[in-house]
C-alpha cells in the first residue's frame, strides 16, 4: 500500500498532503495560489498519483516559501512511500509538447539530490506567478533525494512552457515509480542500497 498522509509546518507555511502512488490521478488542491493549484493538479492527473494538498503560507509576502515547501513535502513523501525502492523502475523520462512548447524531463530516484534546468531562460510572469517559481518547486522536490533534469527545447508562451514541464515531470515520475510486477523484489542498483 503506497499511500499515506504527511504534513509540513514551518514559520512560513502549514501544509497537509495525502498521496496514493497507485491511484488514478484524482486530486484536491488548495494552496491559495490559483496557477500553482493548476500545476499540481496537472502533475496528479498525468502521474496517476492521487494528491490531496491543502495549506496556507505567507503568500501576502511572496509565493516562494509556499511553492518551495510544497516541493519539499511532495518529494519527501514520495520517497517515504517508496521504502527501500525494491521493484521500482527508478528512472523515468518524457518529452511533452504543448502547442509551441516542447519540454524534456528525466528523473533518477537515486537518493542523490541534484537539479539542473534551463527554465531561467524564460523569465517573466504568468499572471501573478513568477516563472522562476517553477525552479523553486522542482529544486525543493529534487532536494529530497532525486536527480532531476529539466530541458526546455523550445517555447514562447510561459504558461505553455511551465505546464508542459509539469506534464513531462509527471510522466517521468510515473515511469520511475512504476513497480515491475515480474520482479517486485528487484533492487535497481548494484550497491545493494540507495544513498540517503
Average of per-residue pLDDT across 80-96: 95
Please tell me the CATH superfamily of domain 3-177, with its number: Imidazole glycerol phosphate dehydratase; domain 1 (3.30.230.40)
Domain extents in the chain: 3-177
pLDDT digits (tens, 9 = 90+) for 131-164: 999 999 999 999 999 999 999 999 999 999 999 9
> In a 10 Å sphere around its CB, with 0-12 CB exposed, 13-18 middle and 19+ buried, how is residue 97 labelled?
middle
pTM of the entire predicted model: 0.95
**For the chain, what is the mean pLDDT?**
95
Cell triple for 154: 523550445
Q: Residue 117 pairs with which residues in a beta bridge?
A: 150
Confidence at residue 194, expressed as pLDDT on a 0 to 100 scale = 66
Amino acid at each position: 500500500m503506497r499511500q499515506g498522509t504527511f504534513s509540513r509546518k514551518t514559520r512560513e507555511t502549514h501544509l497537509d498532503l495525502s498521496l496514493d502512488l497507485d491511484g488514478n490521478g484524482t486530486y484536491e488542491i488548495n494552496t491559495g495560489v490559483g496557477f500553482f493549484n493548476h500545476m499540481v493538479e496537472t502533475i496528479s492527473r498525468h502521474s496517476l498519483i492521487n494528491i490531496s494538498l491543502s495549506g496556507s503560507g505567507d503568500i501576502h509576502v511572496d509565493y516562494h516559501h509556499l511553492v518551495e515547501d510544497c516541493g519539499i513535502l511532495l518529494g519527501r513523501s514520495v520517497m517515504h512511500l517508496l521504502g527501500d525502492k525494491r521493484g521500482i523502475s527508478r528512472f523515468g523520462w518524457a518529452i511533452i509538447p504543448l502547442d509551441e512548447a516542447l519540454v524534456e524531463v528525466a528523473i533518477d530516484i537515486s537518493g542523490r539530490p541534484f537539479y539542473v534546468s534551463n527554465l531561467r531562460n524564460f523569465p517573466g510572469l504568468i499572471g501573478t506567478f513568477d516563472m522562476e517559481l517553477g525552479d523553486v518547486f522542482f529544486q525543493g522536490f529534487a532536494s529530497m533525494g532525486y536527480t532531476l533534469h529539466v530541458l526546455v527545447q523550445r517555447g514562447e508562451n510561459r504558461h505553455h512552457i511551465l505546464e508542459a514541464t509539469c506534464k513531462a515531470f509527471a510522466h517521468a515520475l510515473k515511469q520511475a515509480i512504476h513497480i515491475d510486477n515480474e520482479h517486485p523484489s528487484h533492487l535497481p542498483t548494484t550497491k545493494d542500497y540507495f544513498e540517503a
